[in-house]
Amino acid sequence: MQKRQLQVRRLGRFAYDAGLRLQKEIEQEVIEKRETDFLLLLEHPHTFTTGRRSQKTGVLATAERLKTLGVSVFETNRGGKVTYHGLGQIVGYPIISLSPNREDVHKYVRDLEEVLIRTLADFEIEAFRIAGLTGVHTKEGKVAAIGVHIKRWVTTHGFALNVNTDLSFFDLIIACEGEPVTSMEKLLGRELRLAAVEDKIIQNFTKVFDNLPQRR
């Protein structure tokens, strides 16, 4: 059987609602054709998103405060609770078919964690999993969140890696399980080029998901 190909789209700064629409369009294409898989990499304006396990109390700021800060709030069908997307953060949306060889939701999430753990290691950051929690952690806090949705074994949503992220926005929500958060910039003491981090994410994604060679 011929291997499917992976198409990577580096979209830069991209509105959250536009990202949702694009995911739905690509999701339908992957469901129908099962030929090409996709990895979208982008950066959202200030946004809070709620997952299926979110509670109304997850966002601590008032509507007026959110408006002043320019923060939008969206309800989503991904797993997890409330999280933040914003400038200086790399968001990855893999839209891939897990059929027939990867029909295991837990393994898929662990594989996404592995992609990010390897990426952080490339920048000499020690990162790890914590049993019972989803995402990627360091000794100073959580550095990446993961929340996925799967329809007919095709994935949407994905991960958010804090690179040069303004962490003060996390003070306005009860993020995930309430654990502290950090960023690559804070851990390394310097700002990083998002493109350089994206390069490593792409390399590690293609290695971990080895049945998806990248299409040039």
Residue 68, classified by CB atoms within 10 Å of its CB into exposed (0-12), middle (13-18) or buried (19+), is exposed
Angle at 58 between CA 57 and CA 59, to 5 degrees: 90
Report how far Cα 196 is from the mean position of its chain's Cα atoms. Answer: 17
- Among 176, 181, 194, 202, which one carries the catalytic annotation? 176
Full DSSP string of 108-135: HHHHHHHHHHHHHHHTT---B--TT--S
- Of 150, 122, 148, which is closest to residue 135 (Cα–Cα)? 148
Listed in order, strand segments (DSSP E) in the chain are 5-13, 36-43, 47-50, 72-75, 82-85, 89-95, 136-138, 141-151, 154-162
pLDDT by residue, tens only, the chain of 216 residues: 456 789 999 999 999 999 999 999 999 999 999 899 999 999 999 999 887 665 556 788 888 988 899 999 888 877 677 889 999 999 999 999 999 888 999 999 999 999 999 999 999 999 999 999 999 999 999 999 999 999 999 999 999 999 999 999 998 887 656 689 999 999 999 999 999 999 999 999 999 998 554 443
Q: Is residue 176 annotated as part of the catalytic site, yes or no?
A: yes
- pLDDT for the residue numbered 26: 98
Give dist(CA 206, CA 201) in Å, integer. Answer: 9
Give the total residue count for the chain: 216
Going from the N-terminus, what domains does the chain have, and what CATH number goes with each? 5-208 (3.30.930.10)
| Cα Rg, the chain, nearest whole Å | 16
